[in-house]
Amino acid sequence: MKEHLHVIASVEPGSIADELELEPGDALLSINGNKIEDVFDYHYLMNEEYVELLVRKADGEEWELEIEKEFEEDLGVSFENGMMDDYRHCTNQCIFCFIDQMPPGMRETLYFKDDDTRLSFLQGNYVTLTNLKDKDVEKIIKYKLSPINISFQTTNPELRCKMLHNRFAGDSLKIVDRLVEAGIIINGQIVLCKNWNDGEELERSLRDLYQYLPNLQSVSVVPVGLSKFREGLEPLEPFTKEDAKRVLAQIEAWQRKAYAEFGMHFIHASDEWYLLAEEELPEEESYDGYLQLENGVGMLRLLKTEFHDALAMEGGDELFRKVSIATGKLAAPFLRKFMEELKTKYPNTEVTVFDITNEFFGERITVAGLITGQDLKKQLKGKNLGEKLLLPCHMLRSGEEVFLDDVTVTELSEYLQIPIEIVDSDGAVLLHHVIR
């Protein structure tokens, strides 16, 4: 049996661990005699006011330590493996999986498919539940872990098995009943594929999921992303303007029902549907506090609100500025409107918004987060970019200044001979970068 060795990477000065003379390289073996499988076991067991630790020092000596502390007071360490366990990879072969639509030759981490429910709680990932064992469900319920983010796709068990290419995908839906019964809060997602889980199948899913309110506090419906690298994959069609209008009509009908009964809108369409249907974005109140921002639900509405509020606080000036912004085709029209409104207070500020065509993944991909450095190089070379170029943070790998194709911000800046500023997804921050 694999021994769980949780090696300490760092010790916080002045912490309990520091007082106990624990050091990097020491391994935590157990808490109160319990083996620690992952980070959730660690935090749950460390919550108590009295704990007994078994620690193996770097030289092999084992220490038994008794600690009296405040409730929920932490030991004050970080571990070499933040999960304190191996990551669980996805066992599905979903017809809509974007990782399967990646070209060869990119960095290895981009091809890793995770379906680890623990990452749902730690990082907000959406999971299919097909990896969950009974003991995992019991742990979620025992530790009262919430919210969990679930990729439903459909509530039709047979169809879910087909879409995920997993014969257990239908049965895993039964886990939702146990979670709801235990009071676990859930956010859901449906990746909509034309002629698969739309139309009557979407209606069935929304009807079934409605029974889980209010524990199921939100469900986003997003259109499948189709790159140009789909050879050998299940043929999928893009949605049309008329399709988008039908999807929005379905969603809005269920929103009215949910709001009347629960005071929440429950089901939300991602921004792409409104742009494709050429319809106005809903008002801010329709997003229930923006529970599904990471799925592109309300991102443009929030950006607009933040930008307008920030602009209203500014006094304006007549300084001459020339700034450029590069983004995806999805957000570009909105940013152009924002920059037109900017001129009411900053008449001499000129901002050019470049909408970048995604030649790398294909023109159907319109979000900024999948734009590569090489497309930016190709399409901005020789353009009058002014004093500086602004890029949204979504284009970069989290915590790093690197694009999906490993081009760095520094490399792009040197290639274009222009200073580049990375802008967080906040309208006030965007305004600040333009006028400061």
How is residue 89 annotated by DSSP? B
pLDDT at 353: 98
Residues near 105 by beta carbon (within 8 Å), at least 6 away in sequence: none
> Which secondary-structure segment (H or E) carries 62?
strand 62-68
127-139 per-residue burial string, b: 16 or more CB within 10 A, e: under 16 = bbbbbbeeebbeb
Q: How far is CA 326 from CA 305, 355, 359, 412, 427, in A?
A: 21, 6, 15, 12, 15
How is residue 68 annotated by DSSP? E
pTM higher than 0.85: yes
DSSP string, 262-312: HSS--EEE-HHHHHHHT-PPPPGGGGTTTTTGGGTSSHHHHHHHHHHHHHH
In the chain the domains, ranked by start, together with CATH numbers, are: 6-79 (2.30.42.10), 99-295 (3.80.30.10), 303-435 (3.40.50)
- Walking along the chain (436 residues) 10 residues at a time, the average pLDDT comes out as 77 94 94 91 91 93 94 91 86 94 85 87 91 93 94 98 96 96 97 98 98 97 96 95 98 97 97 94 95 93 96 95 96 94 96 97 93 97 97 89 94 97 95 95
Tokens describing residue 397 = 């790998």
CA–CA gap between residue 399 and residue 409 (Å, rounded): 13
Q: Are residues 184 and 148 in contact, defined by beta-carbon separation less than 8 angstroms?
A: yes
Residues near 21 by beta carbon (within 8 Å), at least 6 away in sequence: none
CA–CA gap between residue 39 and residue 102 (Å, rounded): 31
Q: In what order do the strands lie in the sheet with 186-192?
A: 148-151, 186-192, 216-223, 267-269
CA angle 132, 138, 139 (to 5 degrees): 85
pLDDT tens digits, residue range 114-157? 888 888 888 889 999 999 999 999 999 999 999 999 999 999 99
